Structure 1
Amino acid sequence: MTSTAPADLRPDPPGPDGAADLAAFGYRQELHRSLGRYASFAAGFSFISVLTTVFQFFAFGYAFGGPVFFWTWPAVLVGQLLVAACFAELAARYPISGAVYQWSSRLSNLTFGWFAGWIMVIGQIVVVAAAALALQIVLPAIWSGFQLIGSDPAPTSPDGAANAAVLGVILLVLTTLVNVVDNRVMSVINRVGVTAEIIGAVLIIVLLLTHSERSPGITFHTGAGSTGLFGALMVGSFAAAYVMIGFDSAGEMSEETHHPRRTAPRTILVALGSAGLLASLIVLGGLLAAPSLTDGHLAVDGLGYVLTSSLGDGVGRALLVDVVVAIAVATLAIQTAACRMLFSMARDGQLPLSRRLAKVNPRTGMPSAPALAVGVLAAALLLLNFASPDAFLAIGTTCIVMLYLAYAMVTGPLLVRRLRGQFPDPDGQGGTDEEGRPLFSLGRWGIPVNAVALVYGLFMTVNLAWPRAAVYDPTGGHWYFQWFTLLFLGATVAAGLLYRALRARTAVEEAPEAVPASYA
């Protein structure tokens, strides 16, 4: 359905660099186009959020993999760079909000693309909740007063899990407000936060490497209690897989970015590459600088323990403050990405309450209803933490699986298009960007890169979703956490099927809907 907007809508700025291009896809410029290259990079980098996710999952990766889990980071980075390269090509050709939904729909058909978007947006909402939970990893370590419930700050304890939910809800209230105010405010917060995070990450790397207690050779050891090298790598890869997602956010923000056909492909790759490199070095530095690899602290307290014990309380706590900033900005960026996905699907009339979800405030350039919806649903997910500490891991793993599956629902149809010779110019609109230069393209490497990216994505989806009792239900008695990812994914697909069935049943009573231009 072609998007509608108030008659007095004045996109800011109204330049032709994106509005006319967007019109070719059947949409009007409603979101304010005010983001530059660094803001586009910040959107992807802040979703990945090196400090948030490394601090959040370092302890888990080490507990199951030992020092050898370091090697999962470069391995996952290479695999995700292949996926990102495919996405960069699509971002250059389809510069539209709701990236995964739009790309999958236009490469396959609207029904398949709808399920890709549906799985993606539910996964993004879960990621918002998981990111907000990360505050528990660092705030109590900075000051015990942040432990509002009980006395045990460990996220795996009942007190820590409940406190994580409370802190997470408070953060979600703040990020929801920012996502309603104005996209300029959101962009400024993102850019400042990402700059602070990059500076903090570099400082952490330098300080950890200069306080090394051992040589890098330790990374070839699995550690006590691991399940062998293969098992250590498979489970240890969860941490890296959780970190290196969300790089497609630069594509999500295409309708708010100047020269998106040129900017988005590059910022997708740069955001993932820089974040993956920084994350790998932080993990290596943490392993080398940890006072001990066998006293149990690394598997419970993670990098926070390394910073405060190796660098001293003063320096360690100061760096943890920077981590708090990164967590807040990451939660904001992920919520923003989910909002754009909801908005994109809603303006096509593809969601319940579509008219409300597709409404953009002409003054702020922000879709307010999606922000409220994502905030409320993510906060509801946090309530699972009151049920059991194991919910933390279940939520974290579920969101990774959802995003990996949605990514495969893009790389799969893209590979089919390539094999049919219908790519890299699928819409017949030419091969140049806003500056008249050739669009980003993998050229003759397109098919092999795409094929490996698809196989990698499907393999990691199965690996992450596998119901390992030792991982998801270590204390026993909570079978639903062991199967939580598959149950949640099944419920998501079932809810989607039910909605599509009800929608098809009532479609005969409604006027036929126009389909946006360029859907194949």
Structure 2
Amino acid sequence: MSGHSPDDDDRHLAALGYKQELVRNLGSFSTFATGFAFISILTGMFLLFGFVYSSGGPASIWAWVVAVIGQVLFALSFAELAAKYPLAGSVYSWTKHITRGTSASWLAGISMILALIVSSATVALTMQTILPAISPVFWIYGDGSGPHDATINGVILGSIMLVLTTIVSLLGSKVRSLVNNIGVSVELIASIVLIVGLAINAKHGPSVVFETNGTGLNQPGGYVGALLLCLLLGLTVMWGFDTAGSLGEETINPRQTSPRAIIRALVASGVFGALLILAAVMSIPKLDDQRIADDGLSYVVKASLGTGLGNIMLVCAAIAVFVCGLANQTGAVNMMFAMARDNALPGSSRLAKVAERAKTPVLPPLIVLVVGVAILVYNIGQPAIFLTVSSTTVVFALISYFLITASFSLARVRGDWEQPDTRYFRLGKWGLVVSVVATIWAAGMIVNIAWPRQVLYNPDEPFHWYLQWGGVLIPAVALTLAFLVYWFTQRKKIGILPEHSSGFASQQSAPRAELETR
């Protein structure tokens, strides 16, 4: 922006109560790339395409379109918040500044941390669906013929990936940005090549998107019920774009850059995802082929493009998975750092400590690594429980989004919200409508995804009622226990730690005595 200087960013951050500790070196592409990498359509497609296709057939693409529209509502609200509060911690920091208490922001932050850590492990496990399909050399344990070969091998590959993403995170924002930008560039090019390649090998016309494969017969509510289940793909893939806003303290001119990055990351992912689904279903020779359900997009790619080009696309998908995991870890690190410097977490001083040389938090990436590997290892003995836990990731994320859009709506109704500077992104008179509809969308999708469907939460033996109800029980229990920790240990301690304070805070961000007593 004309007339902008780096000092403007530092002064704005100081006015919000914080001193500049992280390195501000990310440009517009790097910020966009982090949001795009987090969403990572290739990761999501290779992980869930087979399940969604078997649940809704080619017409399941309409669930993706609906999901894009719904998630854009979040992106618009987040963009306006990022323009006014370009802070690390995105949903936590934004909710903190628009509410009259600390409970909603704390729950939004902790819910997102849980989503991000579990998602990091789940994304890492995706390597098992890609690398062994490229070459048997990636069968580090067994060869796939044993009953536990795939499970154990997936844990090994996933753990290696988590170690590598942690190393990149600890090297600082410059290295992390370089790796991420390369990965996203590969993913963008690969997505285009994959879409064009599948379209060239099309066996059906665009009208195939109205073919249901009779899947509505197996769902309560007919095909509407099938589409509600198929929304899982869009919702699981298209969240985390707020991470582009979470880099506000590492971004140059974040009030201008972050809102655009959030919206562009989601819209680009939505468009590329829709085109990829369309090209994939048009290229399938036999629409009811069981191998699609079993092997997912990997089978479709190799069947349509051949082994050579198919393997190249799978390599690109593996790179996309890696930077997706890196973006997940980045989001978790920034969220923990933001909450810790407000003394909102146990051991906050250590969690918020920034490395002198790399200018990045040290302990949070290690926590993501240790907990992520532990979750993966647990998958060896209890794969059914791991599936249930990993399936609740999007529920945690949607709870966080619900808390912020509901808080945003309430702030607007109360008259507590002042529009950002006219030079930056603002929704104007449409702001309240967008935030209210986004809140309704969030509530509806929490119910939809948490609904106790056996096909989602407990598809294989052993069948247990608590696994089927995992989408309700796990978030309820986890957030209740977390809230008890907050209420009895942190609630009255919350306030910017002296070593992270700028010594000056605006009226909106200054700690209020009455908040600390709630």
TM-score by length of 2: 0.91
Which SS does the other structure have where 1:301 is aligned?
A: helix
- From 458, 477, 498, the equivalent of 1:491 is 477
Structure 1 residue 147: deviation in Å? Answer: 2.4
Answering whether residue 148 of structure 2 is matched by residue 169 of structure 1, we say no
Question: Are the counterparts in 1 of residues 344 and 490 from structure 2 also a CA contact under 8 Å?
Answer: no
Is 1:118 matched with 2:104?
A: no
2:204 to 186, 207, 214: 214
Report the equivalent of 2:454.
469
Is 1:348 the equivalent of 2:328?
no
In the alignment of these two chains, the number of paired residues is 494
**Partner in structure 1 of residue 488 of structure 2:** 502
Q: Is 16-25 or 487-496 further displaced after alignment? A: 487-496
Using the alignment, how far apart are the partners of 2:417 and 2:343 within structure 1?
28
Q: 1:15: how far off?
A: 3.5
1:234 equivalent in alignment to 2:228: yes
Question: Once structures 1 and 2 are overlaid, which stretch shifts more, 18-27 or 464-473?
Answer: 464-473
Q: CA shift at 1:286, angstroms?
A: 1.1
Structure 1 counterpart of 2:114, which letter?
A: I
SS in 2 for 1:91: helix
SS in 1 for 2:292: coil
Q: Distance in 2 between matches of 1:505 and 1:89?
A: 28
Of 401-410 and 223-232, more deviation after overlay is shown by 223-232
Q: 1:133 aligns with which of 110, 120, 125?
A: 125
Compared CA separation, residues 291 and 159, structure 1 to 2 (3 A): farther
Cα distance change, pair 505–277 in 1 and its aligned pair in 2 (3 A)? closer
The correspondence for 2:70, drawn from 79, 83, 86, is 79
3-state SS of paired residue (2:71): helix
Whether contact under 8 Å (2:113, 2:336) holds in the other structure is: yes
1:205 aligns with 195
Q: Trace 1:16-415 onto structure 2 (pairs within 5 A).
A: 16-108=7-99, 109-152=101-144, 158-225=148-215, 226-227=218-219, 228-391=222-385, 393-415=387-409
- Tell me the secondary structure at the aligned position of residue 357 of structure 2: coil
How far the C-alpha of 1:153 sits from its partner, in A, is: 8.2
The letter of the residue matching 2:462 is G
Q: Report the CA distance between 1:504 and its aligned residue.
A: 5.7
Quick one: which amino acid aligns to residue 70 of structure 2? G
> Which segment is superposed worse, 352-361 or 144-153?
144-153
Q: Distance in 2 between matches of 1:386 and 1:118?
A: 27
**In 1, distance between residues paired with 2:478 and 2:261?**
31
TM-score, length basis structure 1 = 0.91
Residues 76-121 of structure 1, C-alpha deviations (whole Å, 9 max, x = no match): 0011011100000000010100010011111112222111101111
Contact 1:291–1:306, Cα closer than 8 Å, also in 2: no
Residue deviations 1:351-371 (CA, integer Å, cap 9, x gap): 011111100012111101111
- Paired with 1:454 and 1:105, the residues of 2 have a C-alpha distance of 17
1:440 aligned partner? 425
Tell me, in whole angstroms, the C-alpha distance in 2 between the residues paired with 1:464 and 1:188: 35
Letter in 2 for 1:88: A
Moved more, 380-389 or 27-36: 380-389
Structure 2: state its 5+ residue gaps: 513-518
Could you tell me how far 1:396 is from its partner in structure 2? 3.5
In 1, are the aligned partners of 2:58 and 2:209 still within 8 Å (CA)? Answer: yes
Paired residues of 1:22 and 1:29 also in contact (CA < 8 A): yes
The answer to whether the Cα contact below 8 Å between 2:31 and 2:247 also exists between their aligned partners in 1 is yes
- Structure 1: state its 5+ residue gaps: 1-13, 426-430
Distance 1:314 1:268 in 2: 35
Aligned to 2:516: none
Judge conservation of contact 1:120–1:402 (CA < 8 Å) in 2.
yes
Q: Compute the displacement of 1:293 (Å).
A: 1.8
Conservation of the 8 A alpha-carbon contact between 2:338 and 2:352 = yes
* In structure 2, distance between residues paired with 1:203 and 1:283: 14
